Amino acid sequence: MLLRVTKYGEAILRKKGKRVEKFDQSLRKLAADMVETMHENDGAGLAAQQVGADLLLFVIDLCWHEELNRMRYELDGRHPPLDLLMPMVFVNAQLTPLKGEMISAEEGCLSFNDICGDVCRVDHVRVEYQDLDGAKHVLVAQDWLARVLQHEYDHTQGVLFIDRMESQTLRGIESRLKKLRNTARKGPAKVEPDMGEE
């Protein structure tokens, strides 16, 4: 089922995710719907906050990336082919930046429509997470994978990519951000039938 993607200006995007305690059918359904929604919108990742849930949960899919099989990573000390792992679901992820280069690259975000901007991030991270069965894993990643993991992990902490942009980059997209924020406040939140009390 396709889910509505929340937009910049909606309060849920600033909410920290709660730990997932139940690894049940409803978690599977939510994750599957998030993957479907991510694919439909041509996204590389999608976090729970972007579909209206404050959970420590995100999904990624980098199958479209030309360099996919050249990316450096290690999952539980092994190197399984990334295209077989995708899409990946991360439950209760904790991300630690590792020593590495800081790299600036242009990012977009499904909650920001087509607004893009350069974001500087470390090129080496370690993510401890659980899969949909609750099994624990450790993913150490570099390259674009490390970037996407940081972007999505940030969402689960209520942090957005604009928070990590330099002020010069922000100035360039300021007016479009303002427009999006105002639209989100007036618009979609009200037409959602299950969101208001009345």
Query: Which are the catalytic amino acids?
Result: 152
Stretch that binds Zn ion, among 9-17, 31-39, 91-99, 101-109 (CB under 5 A): 101-109
Task: Assess 149 for contact with Zn ion (CB under 5 A).
Answer: no
The distance of closest approach from Cβ of residue 57 to Zn ion in the complex, given in angstroms and rounded to an integer, is 14
| Measured distance CA(93)–CA(72) in Å, rounded | 19
7 versus 124: smaller Cβ distance to Zn ion: 7
The distance of closest approach from Cβ of residue 43 to Zn ion in the complex, given in angstroms and rounded to an integer, is 8
8 versus 73: smaller Cβ distance to Zn ion: 8
| Measured distance CA(63)–CA(19) in Å, rounded | 28
| Measured distance CA(63)–CA(69) in Å, rounded | 9
Task: Assess 57 for contact with Zn ion (CB under 5 A).
Answer: no
Q: In the numeric block, which tokens belong to residue 48?
A: 């729970």
Per-residue contact flags (x/-) with Zn ion for residues 104 to 143, judged by CB under 5 A: -----x----------------------------------
- Residues 179 to 198 in contact with Zn ion, rule: CB under 5 A: none
13 versus 91: smaller Cβ distance to Zn ion: 13
Taking CB atoms, the residue at the shortest distance from Zn ion is 109
Contact between 188 and 9 under an 8 Å Cβ cutoff? The reply is: no
Q: Which sign, positive or negative, has the C-alpha torsion 137, 138, 144, 149?
A: positive
**Going edge to edge, which strands form the sheet with 45-47?**
45-47, 57-60, 88-97, 124-130, 136-142, 73-75
4 versus 190: smaller Cβ distance to Zn ion: 4
Q: Which of 110, 106, 121 is nearest to 169 (CA)?
A: 106
Residue 104: strand pairing partners: 120
Task: Assess 44 for contact with Zn ion (CB under 5 A).
Answer: no
Task: Assess 51 for contact with Zn ion (CB under 5 A).
Answer: no
Residues binding Zn ion (CB under 5 A): 109
